[in-house]
Amino acid sequence: MKPSSIMLPRVPVRPGGVERDIFRNQLVKRLAGIAVGRLQIVQDAQVILDAGDQTETPLVVRIKQSRAYRQMVLGGPIGAAEAYMAGDWETDDLVGVLRLFLANRSVLEALDGGWNLLQKPLRRLHHFLNRDTIAQSKKNIAAHYDLGNDFFSLFLDPTMSYSGGVFVNPEDSMEQASINKFDAICRKLDLKPSDEVIEIGTGWGGFAMYAAEHYGCHVTTTTISEEQFAYADEEITRRGLKGRITLLKDDYRQLRGQYDKLVSIEMIEAVGLAYLPLFFQTCSRLLRPSGSLLIQAITIAESRFKAASKSVDFIQKYIFPGGALAS
């Protein structure tokens, strides 16, 4: 039988460090249930926690500042992330640590409970203030996408596609996977040169340009990101596609007209749960009676949807304000 965890003795309370030791012992208690993988927490060359499968090589978290314990206990996963960003803890394998917690979801949920519950109402209020009204949506999008095109070009493929690709072959590059996706969407919609297509969420224009170039249709596409608009406008002009692509800077709720086909590629995550009915009503209004639509979306497991819809995670606070996943 494999040993699963070692619960080290609680670190004794020392004068002047009562608060630190309380939070450290609370953290050790919550993480002791790790069963998949192995995690060590080390501070000043002392092993504070060694939990999990003792036959495995441990992932090591080094505490640099004792305030990290307080952040993790009171802030849960978001607090742990904020402590990492502040340099209060470090690891040589951040991806491995994240995967370990995903594999030990009950431990992750325990970290997200307890005293962390005190902060959740404030986070929900912050998320509510970021709800996706027309005015706030533009601010939410700017907070992420207007970080700059040069920044995104560092890790996106040449099509500047910022959504899941289709890997037909294991050796496909990211660029090829994006092209595969564009073509799969065009084929699923049975695009024809006579089609008028509306795209909600231009991104950097990859799909619109592919559809116009390879299927000859006319694409009207909209983004509310200033940076994306500038990039797409320049690329559309450079490729000589101004006659086949109409680039707008309108919120989806402001779109008018009717179209044969509607496409939205991983934009629905920015709509917000409260606005999903309006989003689909808008899609219906924009389509002709015989029209078709294709929506590519990131979803969350149904079993986790209810809890997720009532909480605010790191991505919603720091990456996609106002965002939410449908099940």
Q: CATH number, domain at 219?
A: 3.40.50.150
Amino acid at 310: K
Residues 138 and 103 in one domain: no
Residue 327 lies in a domain: no
Residues 150 and 108 in one domain: no
Residues 297 and 164 in one domain: yes
Residue 128 lies in a domain: no
Interval 52-73: pLDDT, tens = 999 999 999 999 999 999 999 8
Residues 23 and 157 in one domain: no
**Domain end marker among 89, 118, 147:** 118
Residue 125 lies in a domain: no
Residues 108 and 138 in one domain: no
Q: How many domains does the chain have?
A: 2
Residues 94 and 61 in one domain: yes
Residue 127 neighbours by CB under 8 Å, 6+ apart = 312, 316, 317, 321, 322
pLDDT for the residue numbered 13: 40
Residue 124 lies in a domain: no
Would you give the DSSP letter of residue 158?
T
CA-nearest of 264, 249, 251 to 294 is 264
Average pLDDT over all residues of the chain: 88
Residues 157 and 111 in one domain: no
Residues 250 and 114 in one domain: no
Residues 44 and 156 in one domain: no
- Lowest mean pLDDT, pick from 136-145, 180-189, 286-295: 136-145
Taking the C-alpha atoms of residue 140 and residue 136, their distance in angstroms, rounded to an integer, is 6
pLDDT for the residue numbered 7: 40
- In sign, the C-alpha dihedral spanning 312, 317, 321, 326 is negative
Residues 111 and 46 in one domain: yes
| Most confident listed range (30-39, 104-113, 116-125, 128-137) | 30-39
The yes-or-no verdict on residue 139 having pLDDT over 60 is yes
Residue-range definition of the domain harbouring residue 169: 134-319
pLDDT for the residue numbered 10: 41
Residue 158 lies in a domain: yes
- In sign, the C-alpha dihedral spanning 77, 83, 85, 90 is negative
Q: CATH number, domain at 111?
A: 3.30.1050
Residues 262 and 213 in one domain: yes
Residues 253 and 314 in one domain: yes
How confident is residue 116, by pLDDT bands cut at 50, 70 and 90?
Answer: low
Residue 76 lies in a domain: yes
Residue 326 lies in a domain: no
pLDDT for the residue numbered 113: 65
CA-nearest of 183, 190, 181, 211 to 199 is 211
Q: Hey, is 200 helix, strand or coil?
A: strand
pLDDT for the residue numbered 5: 44
Residue 219 neighbours by CB under 8 Å, 6+ apart = 197, 198, 199, 208, 211, 212, 244, 245, 246
- Average pLDDT, integer, range 282-300: 96
The yes-or-no verdict on residue 264 having pLDDT over 80 is yes
Taking the C-alpha atoms of residue 86 and residue 253, their distance in angstroms, rounded to an integer, is 39
Alpha-carbon distances, residue 197 vs 85, 203, 216, 249 (angstroms): 43, 16, 11, 16
